[in-house]
Amino acid sequence: MERQLDTNLLGSIGLIRAALPHLRKQGGGRVIQVSSEGGQMAYPNFSVYHATKWGIEGFVESVAQEVAPFGIEFILAEPGPTPTNFAAGLDAAPAMDEYADTPSGGVRRALADGSFKLTGDPVRMVEIMIDSADQAPAPRRITLGSTAYESIHAALTDRLARLTAQKELAVSANLDT
């Protein structure tokens, strides 16, 4: 858990914070932060991973507003499931049955048995990320892969419907004025 938080969240925040003075000094620039579809939706058995991705997306949303007056823009890249070396450590990990009843056990099983489909093309995704840096203005988010698009679309549609259903409740919490 600490490794994921340190790598995906705290490491990214630290790198962004270190880059901002340089970007301000040069009069602006772009930061492409690799997130994941997992920053907009959630799969079971990926709870800590999703916490890091939702966390970095919230951080970027906030800091982007803070540094916009300095000509600094952010792009959140949200790839879907993609064949990378993410699963490379599975063979070297302890026997899978040691993880059977843990969240990482579900992920390991799904990757090992092929039920978690890896559909994204990592080369195309990187090309799109690089090309996005030349767009003016920079897109705040780029969704990469059909799985990511469908998953994020479904999650946002559901969240919006749930929010809309609570409008009266939300307004009722206002101060009487």
CATH code, domain with 75: 3.40.50.720
Distance CA 69, CA 28 (A): 9
Q: Does some domain include residue 47?
A: yes
Q: Does some domain include residue 60?
A: yes
User: Which residues have a Cβ under 8 Å from the Cβ of 133 and sit 6 or more positions away?
Assistant: 30, 32, 75
Q: Does some domain include residue 84?
A: yes
- Check whether 17 has a pLDDT greater than 90: yes
Residue 141 lies in domain = 1-170
Long-range CB contacts for residues 137-141, cutoff 8 Å, separation at least 24 = 137/73, 138/30, 138/73, 138/74, 138/75, 139/75, 140/61, 140/64, 140/74, 140/75, 140/76, 141/75, 141/76, 141/77, 141/78
- Check whether 154 has a pLDDT greater than 90: yes
Q: Does some domain include residue 24?
A: yes
* Residue 151: predicted pLDDT: 95
Give percent above pLDDT 90 in the chain: 73
Q: Does some domain include residue 177?
A: no
Which residue type occupies 47?
S
Among candidate residues 43, 49, 99, 149, the one labeled active-site is: 49
- CB atoms near residue 3 (< 10 Å): 8
Q: Does some domain include residue 176?
A: no
Q: Pick the more confident residue, 82 or 156.
A: 156
Q: Whole-number mean pLDDT of the chain?
A: 89
Q: Does some domain include residue 127?
A: yes
Distance CA 63, CA 13 (A): 10
Task: Count up the domains in the chain and report the number.
Answer: 1
CA-closest candidate to residue 74, choices 82, 63, 84, 83: 63
49 noted as active-site residue: yes
Q: Does some domain include residue 175?
A: no
Instruction: Give the torsion sign (CA, 96, 102, 104, 108).
Output: positive
Contact by Cβ (8 Å): 110, 96: no
CA-closest candidate to residue 9, choices 62, 64, 49: 49
Mean pLDDT of 63-90: 88
**How many Å is the maximal CA-CA distance in the chain?**
63
